[in-house]
Amino acid sequence: MRKLLFLLVILTLAACAPPVDEPPPPTALTTDTAQAALIPSPTFTPIPALTQPPVLTQTPIPTQPPDFCADIRGTELINSFSEAVATKDGALLASLVSPSHGMAVQYYRDGNVVNYDVEHAKFVFETTFQADWGLSFGSGEPTLGSFQDIILPTLQQVFTPKSLIVCSQLQTGGTTYIPEWPYPEMNYYSVYFPGTDEFGGLDWQTWAVGMDITGKPYITALVHYVWEP
């Protein structure tokens, strides 16, 4: 009887054992171990040591142009402009306007800038186009009008032989503000009409004329200054 029981135990254990040719079960990896196995080892590229200091470069300073105020072409340009204004010669005026930048006109020192290119400058003495010159310092209302109605009368009063021409300085009468030239990088002249005795000189006017004289001289800007209450 004991031999029979022993034989049954042996047969039961043999039935539970895996076959010899079955592959072993997989071994699970922990999360950190799995990631470490997938991430390749970093490689480093050595940086060669500097054998000499870097070379410093410097932008050459451009040659300075001749003194602006000593260049007679500036006053010659103003004389030609005065002629164009007096005769209302659009073709002559257009020949004085910068082909690259046009002529920026500012009736109020802090007003709108209206730019005239060469083609439009030919017709400023005849066009009726209503430009917006900005708010009047007197009424506070917008000043709308053509070049010949708003700008031309003041130019004709200022650009006469009796006016004072000053280089690189704003010559004005008495002001309630600090006159400033709005284009620091641009050379200019100021043309000053001192006003009349009738109004105690309060009707003085100044037109500042910005210029480009690097090649052929051209007018690039006109800025108007008057007494403001």
Whether the model pTM is above 0.75: no
Q: Single out the residue of 68, 96, 91, 62 nearest to residue 80, CA to CA.
A: 96
Q: Tell me, what DSSP letter sits at residue 173?
A: S
Predicted pLDDT at 66: 52
* DSSP-derived secondary structure for 56-71: P--PPPPPPPPPGGG-
Q: How confident is the model at residue 121 (pLDDT cuts 50, 70, 90)?
A: very high
Q: Assess if residue 40 is contained within a domain.
A: no
- 96: in domain: yes
* 121 and 94 Cβ atoms separated by less than 8 Å: yes
Cα(86)–Cα(90) distance, integer angstroms: 11
d(CA 102, CA 61): 28
- Domain assignment of residue 156, yes or no: yes
Which range in 28-32, 63-67, 85-89 is most confidently predicted, on average pLDDT?
A: 85-89
Which pLDDT score is estimated for 139?
Answer: 87
117: containing domain: 68-226
Q: Which residues contact 129 (CB under 8 A, 6 or more apart)?
A: 146, 147
Helix or strand (DSSP H, E) at 113: strand 113-116
Cβ-based burial of 153 (10 A; exposed 0-12, middle 13-18, buried ≥19): exposed
Cα separations in angstroms, 54 against 26, 46, 50: 59, 19, 9
Residue 197 lies in a domain: yes
Between 27-41, 77-91, 182-196, 215-229, the lowest mean confidence (pLDDT) is in 27-41
From residue 70, alpha-carbon distances to 129, 215, 220 in Å are: 38, 15, 19
Q: Which range is least confidently modeled, 12-16, 26-30, 152-156, 162-166?
A: 26-30
- 172 domain residue, yes or no: yes
Domain count, the chain: 1
pLDDT at 91: 98
User: What ranges in 88-187 are assigned the alpha helix state H?
Assistant: 90-96, 118-121, 147-150, 152-158
The residue assigned the tokens 């470490």 is 36
Is 174:199 a contact under the CB 8 Å cutoff? no
Q: What is the mean pLDDT of residues 177-181?
A: 96
Q: Is the pLDDT of residue 20 over 90?
A: no
Q: What is the CATH number of the domain that holds 188?
A: 3.10.450
Q: Which residue has the higher pLDDT, 62 or 175?
A: 175
